[in-house]
Amino acid sequence: MSVVNTVRGPVDVAELGQTLMHEHIFVTSTEHLDNYGKGGWWDEEVRVADAIEKLNALVAKGVRTLADPTVWGLGRYIPRIQRVAEGVPGLNIIVATGIYSFEELPHQYEHRGPGLLLDMPDPMIDDFVRDLTVGIADTGVKASFLKCVVDAKGLTPGVERICRAVAQAHVRTGAPITVHTNSATQSGITALDLFAEEGVDLTKVVVGHAGDSNDLDYLRRLADTGATLGMDRFGLDLYNPTAQRVATVAALCERGYADRMVLSHDASCFMDYFPNEWDMVAEVVPNWRYDHIHDDVLPALREAGVTDNQIDQMLLFNPRRYFS
Ligand SMILES: [Zn+2]
């Protein structure tokens, strides 16, 4: 039996069920929230209750597991996620470790590491490994995957050090990786090249946001390494409209790549990028919600010739393999 650690504890991977592989619950900046949100746009009780309601609605659609890649840089705060998990008993929530930065290294790691002012093994790796093997802070909750970014700026010195630390934490623990990529610059290739150099098992990598691209050559090049494509921004029509995303997934299924794709929305219950305007976001981006895949995308995929077996592969079996 292979088990995966969730917010409520270990779960047999065979029990994961339908899994959305890239959804946030809350995206905040801790400093923004502490200094401007409290007493203003942030109400902890309202937000927790709202998340519980939205996630229970998702369970009613058949989803059993959600992988939340909210790490440092996106406001990871596990005690709040534990409260949400308590209110959604039908959902496994899997959390991550890593750093979300498009360019710079957090100053907290700048002077500590090999060859730096304090010459020592990279403490970032130990921090990630601790989250995966001991638990996050004093919560007892273990992270089950690693997250980093290679966006349009490519491998800046900061991004490179974070990605190598993530790769080395994977090599030490076997934990899978999700890397945020930029499809316009095809940075998925850069990320996979770096991981391969570090000895990462590429079958344990999700190339996040690959689904922003409709370039089948690029997508097949990624998938042919053994990596899984994150078709994970359904509803973010500004990056790629749903009809295009569906056509691309269907085309890849037809070419035999159903075992190399996972589906998700990259949605959130609340993001402080829009602190006072969160309700307006739902009007401007109406499909960017947790149930868009079940309500709209799956019927459209079936219409485009994708079989129920292929849908099960993307929603059930590929996530199970990733966390096994
Ligand atoms: Zn995301």
Q: What's the pLDDT tens digit per position in 227-276? A: 999 999 999 999 999 999 999 999 999 999 999 999 999 999 999 999 99
Question: How does residue 194 score in pLDDT terms, banded at 50, 70 and 90?
Answer: very high
Ligand 1 centroid – CA 15 distance (Å) = 24
- The pair of structure tokens assigned to 89 is 């008993």
Asked if 132 and 143 count as a contact pair (C-beta separation under 8 A), the reply is: yes
Is 181 within 8 Å of 150 (Cβ atoms)? Answer: yes
Q: How far is the CA of 40 from the centre of ligand 1 (A)?
A: 25
How wide is the angle at C-alpha 20 spanned by C-alphas 16 and 23, nearest 5°? Answer: 130
CA of 67 to the centre of ligand 1 (A): 10
> Which pLDDT does position 234 carry in this prediction?
98
Ligand 1: centre distance to CA 97 (Å):
13
Q: How confident is the model at residue 178 (pLDDT cuts 50, 70, 90)?
A: very high
Confidence of residue 32 (pLDDT cuts 50, 70, 90): very high
Grade residue 7 by pLDDT with cuts at 50, 70 and 90: very high
Whole-number Å distance, alpha carbon 111 to ligand 1 midpoint, is: 28
The string of pLDDT tens digits covering residues 44-65 is: 999 999 999 999 999 999 999 9
Query: Can you give the pLDDT at residue 167?
Result: 98
Look up residue 143 and give its two tokens: 């992270």
* Number of CB atoms found within 10 A of residue 139's CB: 14
What letter represents residue 86's amino acid? E
CA 279 to ligand 1 center in whole angstroms: 19
SS3 84: helix
- 82 Cα to the center of ligand 1, angstroms: 19
Distance 34 CA to ligand 1 centre (A): 22
pTM of the model: 0.97
What pLDDT score does 274 carry? 96
CA of 246 to the centre of ligand 1 (A): 19
Give pLDDT, residue 23: 98
pLDDT surpassing 90 at residue 1: no
Rounded to the nearest whole angstrom, what is the distance from the C-alpha of residue 119 to the centroid of ligand 1?
Answer: 33
- Using the mean position of ligand 1's atoms as its centre, give its distance from the Cα of residue 38 in Å: 24
Mean pLDDT of the region 132-156? 98
Cα radius of gyration rounded to whole Å, the chain: 19
Q: Which two three-digit tokens encode residue 177? A: 């990786």
Residue 200, pLDDT > 80, answer yes
Do you know the residue count of the chain?
324
Q: pLDDT over 70 for what percent of the chain?
A: 100
Ligand 1 centre distance from Cα of residue 209 (Å): 8
The CA 22 to ligand 1 mean position distance, Å, reads 6
What is the CA(172)–ligand 1 centre distance, in A?
25
Categorize the per-residue pLDDT at 205 as very low, low, confident or very high, splitting at 50, 70 and 90. Answer: very high
CA of 2 to the centre of ligand 1 (A): 26
CA distance 99 to 279: 28
| Cα 117 to ligand 1 centroid, rounded to whole Å | 33
Q: Ligand 1 centroid to 71 CA: how many Å?
A: 10
The pLDDT of residue 188 is above 90: yes
Separation of CA 114 and ligand 1 centre (Å): 30
From the CA of 131, how far away is ligand 1's center (Å)?
A: 19
